[in-house]
């Protein structure tokens, strides 16, 4: 039969109604929601083949193409960033949804780090301190460095194992 | 603060709070308090359920099972599968000692009881606003302590039954908060039982009560296994204004109700309506002094909106007796008739008919097509659920680790599709044995010269036999519709598939039945269940065998309608040379009949539209978003290959050995592709759908139930399919984009 499928369950149960849409818009929306709700994430760096993770206060711009964070020059991550500018930032919502693995969402953003240039400094600093007002004094001390992250793409994960990739508009 | 006890006695009214014992048990306790005759017993509170869940980490399992996909996107088959897995997990988990000791103590307190009724009592169920009779489980006639424990686990699991999951919104089902109490009462069975409504639930008879009665247990009436005697009584005087006699009972039988019995019941149900504060739906057994109230709940009906097919799914659980009758009808009457009618229609020479005869042929085929489609929904699908009935029975008695182990007992049944694949392998073998023949077939395929097929092949040694067998193959197996097109009308596509089969190692041997598992099954059954086990296995095997055949045979009738439609279109001067599928072909039947019935110059040719693009996954608009997609792990295994999307009859011919077959759902008319595939991925989910079954039989990995699979993958994508975990990964784990930005910018 050309239409042999058993009937669908009814108006509310149509298989057409995919509420977990994997469209660029839907993924972007989910990433933005995570960014809005979660002010901290784990920054991954590496040096001499050794990965390293640091919980960081971060900020991302509206387009999700550029991020910012600050660190003290004596930290391990600062030294590692001098060796290798490749980073990943992981953010998840465990703190808001509890330990239900199917309800947890996260993203990993891959990118490249550089010290904020003079041209970028003010807006990156404003972006970071608007989101984290308690860092206002911290970023002004001489031993603290403000970093810019250029994001290449996001890997969004939900329902434990569903992974989508999203690339910010060029 | 009071902590919730594990067990409460039904006579302990202050402990029978609805939030602890559920609405059903609370109502029973209320009746006991008001001295109504109710079977004694006790209730296992929601705390027992919680303890069981926590101790066995079943809350996590439920969350994972129901969180795998948005429930709104799950089809009924997927809900059924989830419910089966949850039920088996409950069954295989031990009841906490604190709970089992509580049950045993309570049972021993009633040592005069030899049999128990175990009933669901979920908080919120049977409340004034909602009654969900039949969605959760009731188990009757349970004797030993172990049997009671098993029955309790089944009732707990029924909180997550497929029926309950269908009505999850109405039931406010939530894996984190939903609970189930269990009512355990002495079994009480008199010679007559029934239900009584203090008002007509359908609102046809105003100020009237309805009483229904059957011989024996009320459960047979509630399950629909017995047709009851039905009385409509005027309130309050009890005047009988309508009586409908059961088709199965003699009303003069002394076990039926007399007028005094009816008045007694009427008075009770009217009293209960006053006591409970709303119209009541009563289950009872016995008469006069021996009358016992089994339960009383508010009258409510499940609301059904237009287009809501859930009641149809609820009806798909025919009782064992009904299933046997259905099997007899399907196997001995309907399938042979369907086969005969298909063959008869296929033999008719439509081109030789005049217009009037063609119009009549069109009408006949349209009517037959509609008739058999209806039979498919009314008979074939319910009969297919014989497999599910057996699966639940098998799991209940054997508690296997794999919920689908029972399928092993169904393998090896002869089906049209298996015979078709044998014929296909035989044709492929002929090509392997004759190089010139094979080369000529490749040549014809490359040139798409189906019109030269006959003349060319006849000239080659072995060609005549190949041609004869090929034609027979087309007529016997390819006279079916796929995506609106007759497969028989596309011989080049079929030849392409035969050429691919040439590359396979031929394995046409029948798989033997798993006799040792069968012995194990019968050994595990208690003596009194062996006969039922035999019957259900027999029914499941019949049902299994017909799971493809009914589709293919109904598809053949549809193909004959399509043939008549095409012939009529040609007769009416419509250009059909584009060879595309028709949009809504059945809507053309009436206008074409009208047109064929008048003189050519007066004919009004109906508007015809063709399907020009069937693709959902259009490569032009394709954007790779999904990297790792999850669905049901429908058949174990791991494979990697190039993706091939099947959406049209032409796609069937394009399938190559080793590709990953990606489609909406494997249909019986395309299962010849499956042996060529390295893995299967389907939009439609379910462990007992065709794709999953065939993949398991052939040992191919299969993942199904990925709602947007057709738009996430495009032809040629490298795809890996993990049938162990239900994961489909598209592309490789690359950092190309990141490395493209490696140099200082």
pLDDT tens column, B596-644:
888 888 888 888 888 776 565 544 444 568 999 999 999 999 999 999 9
Asked whether residue B16 falls in the same domain as residue B159, the answer is yes
- Structural contact between residues A71 and A77, judged by C-beta atoms closer than 8 angstroms: yes
List A residues 26-85 in contact with B (Cβ-Cβ < 8 A): 27
Whether B321 is covered by a domain: the verdict is no
Model ipTM value: 0.87
Q: Point out the domain boundary residue: B471, B501, B531.
A: B501
User: What's the confidence (pLDDT) of residue B420?
Assistant: 86
DSSP string, A22-43: --HHHHHHHHHHHHHH--EEEE
Asked whether residue B469 falls in the same domain as residue B549, the answer is no
Coil, helix or strand for B195? strand
Whether B507 is covered by a domain: the verdict is no
Number of domains in chain B: 5
User: What's the confidence (pLDDT) of residue B133?
Assistant: 64
What size, in residues, is chain A? 170
Coil, helix or strand for A126? helix
List B residues 354-383 in contact with A (Cβ-Cβ < 8 A): 373, 376-377, 381
Asked whether residue B409 falls in the same domain as residue B421, the answer is no
User: What's the confidence (pLDDT) of residue B327?
Assistant: 92
- Residues of chain A positioned with their CB less than 8 A from the CB of B77: 6
Asked whether residue B136 falls in the same domain as residue B37, the answer is yes
A89 conformational bin, left if phi > 0, alpha if psi -120 to 50, beta if neither: beta
How far is B381 from chain A, CA to nearest CA, in Å? 8
Whether B249 is covered by a domain: the verdict is yes
Q: Does A163 touch chain B (CB under 8 A)?
A: yes
- Residue B43's Cβ-count burial label (10 Å; 0-12, 13-18, 19+) is buried
CA–CA gap between residue B674 and residue B438 (Å, rounded): 22
Asked whether residue B544 falls in the same domain as residue B490, the answer is no
CA–CA gap between residue B669 and residue B656 (Å, rounded): 17
| Interface-testing mutation among B73, B78, B705, B729, with chain A (most A C-beta atoms within 10 A) | B73
Asked whether residue B548 falls in the same domain as residue B654, the answer is no
Q: What is the CATH number of the domain that holds B653?
A: 3.50.30.10
List C-alpha distances in Å: B440 to B434, B448, B452, B696: 10, 12, 11, 36
Whether B327 is covered by a domain: the verdict is no
- Structural contact between residues A115 and A124, judged by C-beta atoms closer than 8 angstroms: no
Asked whether residue B116 falls in the same domain as residue B51, the answer is yes
Residue in A19, A150, A152 closest to B70 by CB: A19
What range does the domain containing B625 cover?
619-736
pLDDT at residue A12 greater than cutoff 50 = no
- Which residue of chain B comes nearest to A24, CA vs CA? B625
Tokens standing for B707? 């709602």
Q: Point out the domain boundary residue: B145, B171, B186.
A: B186
**CB–CB contact B707 A160 (8 Å):** no
Nearest to B76 by CA among B310, B325, B237, B420: B310
Q: Does B124 touch chain A (CB under 8 A)?
A: no
First to last CA, chain A: 47
Asked whether residue B645 falls in the same domain as residue B719, the answer is yes
**CB–CB contact B625 A9 (8 Å):** no
- What residues of chain B score a pLDDT lower than 50? 1, 618-622, 745
User: What's the confidence (pLDDT) of residue B616?
Assistant: 57
Asked whether residue B550 falls in the same domain as residue B567, the answer is yes
User: What's the confidence (pLDDT) of residue B509?
Assistant: 57
CA-derived radius of gyration, chain A = 20
Whether B613 is covered by a domain: the verdict is no
Nearest to B191 by CA among B263, B108, B254: B254
CA–CA gap between residue B435 and residue B438 (Å, rounded): 5
| Interface-testing mutation among B70, B74, B307, with chain A (most A C-beta atoms within 10 A) | B307
Which residue is associated with the tokens 């499928």?
A5
pLDDT at residue A3 greater than cutoff 50 = no
Q: Point out the domain boundary residue: B149, B169, B186.
A: B186
- Residues of chain A positioned with their CB less than 8 A from the CB of B712: 22
Among A133-137, A146-150, B64-68, which is the least confidently predicted range?
A: B64-68
- Residues of chain B positioned with their CB less than 8 A from the CB of A102: 63-64, 66-68
All structural domains of chain A: 12-166 (2.30.110.10)
For the stretch B143-193, pLDDT in tens is 899 999 999 999 999 999 988 888 876 777 777 788 999 999 998 888 888
User: What's the confidence (pLDDT) of residue B290?
Assistant: 86
Whether B310 is covered by a domain: the verdict is no
Asked whether residue B430 falls in the same domain as residue B570, the answer is no
- Residue B662's Cβ-count burial label (10 Å; 0-12, 13-18, 19+) is buried
- Residue B719's Cβ-count burial label (10 Å; 0-12, 13-18, 19+) is buried
Whether B743 is covered by a domain: the verdict is no
Coil, helix or strand for A62? coil
Nearest to B569 by CA among B581, B557, B552, B551: B581
Residue in A103, A164, A165 closest to B67 by CB: A103
User: What's the confidence (pLDDT) of residue B418?
Assistant: 76
Asked whether residue B173 falls in the same domain as residue B210, the answer is no
CA–CA gap between residue B729 and residue A159 (Å, rounded): 15
Asked whether residue B406 falls in the same domain as residue B431, the answer is no
pTM score, two decimals?
A: 0.85
For the stretch A82-125, pLDDT in tens is 999 999 999 999 999 887 888 899 999 999 999 999 999 999 99
How far is B309 from chain A, CA to nearest CA, in Å? 5
Q: What is the CATH number of the domain that holds B243?
A: 3.30.470.20
Whether B348 is covered by a domain: the verdict is yes
């Amino acid at each position: 039969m050309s239409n042999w499928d058993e009937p669908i369950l009814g108006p509310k149960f149509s298989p057409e109604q995919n509420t977990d849409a994997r469209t660029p818009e839907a993924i972007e929306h989910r990433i933005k929601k995570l960014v809005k709700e979660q002010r901290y994430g784990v920054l991954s760096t590496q040096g001499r083949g050794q990965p390293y993770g640091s919980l960081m206060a971060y900020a991302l711009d509206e387009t999700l193409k550029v991020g910012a964070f600050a660190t003290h020059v004596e930290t391990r991550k600062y030294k590692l960033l001098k060796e290798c500018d490749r980073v990943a930032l992981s953010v998840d919502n465990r703190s808001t949804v509890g330990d239900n693995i199917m309800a947890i969402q996260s993203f990993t953003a891959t990118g490249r780090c550089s010290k904020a240039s003079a041209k970028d400094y003010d807006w990156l600093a404003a972006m970071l301190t608007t989101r984290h007002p308690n860092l206002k004094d911290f970023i002004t001390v001489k031993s603290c460095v403000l970093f810019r992250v250029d994001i290449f793409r996001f890997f969004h994960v939900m329902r434990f194992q569903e992974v989508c990739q999203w690339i910010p508009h060029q | 603060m009071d902590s919730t006890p594990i067990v409460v006695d039904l006579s302990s009214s202050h402990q029978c709070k609805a939030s602890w014992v559920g609405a059903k048990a609370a109502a029973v306790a209320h009746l006991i308090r008001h001295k109504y005759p109710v079977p004694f017993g006790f209730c296992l509170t929601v705390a027992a359920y919680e303890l069981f869940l926590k101790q066995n980490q079943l809350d996590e399992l439920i969350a994972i099972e129901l969180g795998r996909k948005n429930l709104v996107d799950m089809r009924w088959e997927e809900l059924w599968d989830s419910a089966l897995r949850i039920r088996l997990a409950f069954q295989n988990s031990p009841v906490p000692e604190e709970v089992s000791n509580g049950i045993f103590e309570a049972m021993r307190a009633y040592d005069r009881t030899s049999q128990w009724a175990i009933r669901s009592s979920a908080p919120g169920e049977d409340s004034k606003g909602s009654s969900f009779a039949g969605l959760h489980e009731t188990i009757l006639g349970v004797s030993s302590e172990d049997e009671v424990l098993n029955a309790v686990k089944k009732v707990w699991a029924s909180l997550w039954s497929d029926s309950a999951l269908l009505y999850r919104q109405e039931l406010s089902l939530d894996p984190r908060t939903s609970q189930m109490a269990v009512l355990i009462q002495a079994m009480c069975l008199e010679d007559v039982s029934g239900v009584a409504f203090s008002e007509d639930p359908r609102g046809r008879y105003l100020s009237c009560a309805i009483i229904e009665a059957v011989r024996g247990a009320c459960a047979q009436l509630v399950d629909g296994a017995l047709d009851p005697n039905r009385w409509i009584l005027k309130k309050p005087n009890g005047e009988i204004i309508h009586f409908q006699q059961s088709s199965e009972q003699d009303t003069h039988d002394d076990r039926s109700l007399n007028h005094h019995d009816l008045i007694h019941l009427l008075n009770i149900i009217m009293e209960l309506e006053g006591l409970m504060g709303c119209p009541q739906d009563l289950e009872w057994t016995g008469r006069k002094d021996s009358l016992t109230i089994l339960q009383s709940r508010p009258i409510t009906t499940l609301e059904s909106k237009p287009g809501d097919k859930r009641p149809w799914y609820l009806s798909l659980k025919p009782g064992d007796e009904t299933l046997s009758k259905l099997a007899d009808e399907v196997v001995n009457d309907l399938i042979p008739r369907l086969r005969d009618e298909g063959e008869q229609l296929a033999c008719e020479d439509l081109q030789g008919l005049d217009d009037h005869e063609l119009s009549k042929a069109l009408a006949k085929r349209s009517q037959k097509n509609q008739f058999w489609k209806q039979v498919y929904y009314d008979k074939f699908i319910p009969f297919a659920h014989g497999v599910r009935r057996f699966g639940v029975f098998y799991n209940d008695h054997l508690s296997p680790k794999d919920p689908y182990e029972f399928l092993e007992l169904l393998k090896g049944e002869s089906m049209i599709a298996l015979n078709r694949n044998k014929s296909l392998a035989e044709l492929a073998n002929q090509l392997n044995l004759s190089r010139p023949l094979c080369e000529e077939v490749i040549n014809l395929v490359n040139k798409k010269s189906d019109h030269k097929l006959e003349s060319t092949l006849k000239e080659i040694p072995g060609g005549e036999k190949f041609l004869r067998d090929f034609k027979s193959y087309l007529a016997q197996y390819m006279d079916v519709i796929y995506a609106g097109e007759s497969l028989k009308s596309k011989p080049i596509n079929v030849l392409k598939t035969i050429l691919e089969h040439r590359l396979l190692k031929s394995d046409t041997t029948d798989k033997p039945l798993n006799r040792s598992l069968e012995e194990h099954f019968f050994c595990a059954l208690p003596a009194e269940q062996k006969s039922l086990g035999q019957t259900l296995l027999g029914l499941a095997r019949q049902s299994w065998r017909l799971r493809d055949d009914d589709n293919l045979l109904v598809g053949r009738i549809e193909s004959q309608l399509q043939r008549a439609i095409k012939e009529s279109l040609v007769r009416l001067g419509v250009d059909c040379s584009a060879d595309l599928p028709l949009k809504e072909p059945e809507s053309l039947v009436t206008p074409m009949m009208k047109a064929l019935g008048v003189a050519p110059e007066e004919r009004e040719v109906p508007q015809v539209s063709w399907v020009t693009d069937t693709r959902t996954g259009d490569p032009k608009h394709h954007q790779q978003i999904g990297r790792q997609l999850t669905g049901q792990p429908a058949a174990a295994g791991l494979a990697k290959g190039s993706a091939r999307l099947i959406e049209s009859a032409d796609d069937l011919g394009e399938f190559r050995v080793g590709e990953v077959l990606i489609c909406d759902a494997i249909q019986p008319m395309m299962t010849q592709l499956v042996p060529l595939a390295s893995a299967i991925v389907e939009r439609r989910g379910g462990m007992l759908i065709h794709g999953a079954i065939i993949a398991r039989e052939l040992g191919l990995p299969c993942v199904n139930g990925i709602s947007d699979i057709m738009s996430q993958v495009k032809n040629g994508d490298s795809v890996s399919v993990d049938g162990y975990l239900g994961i489909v990964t598209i592309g490789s784990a690359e950092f190309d984009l990141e490395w493209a930005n490696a140099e200082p910018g």
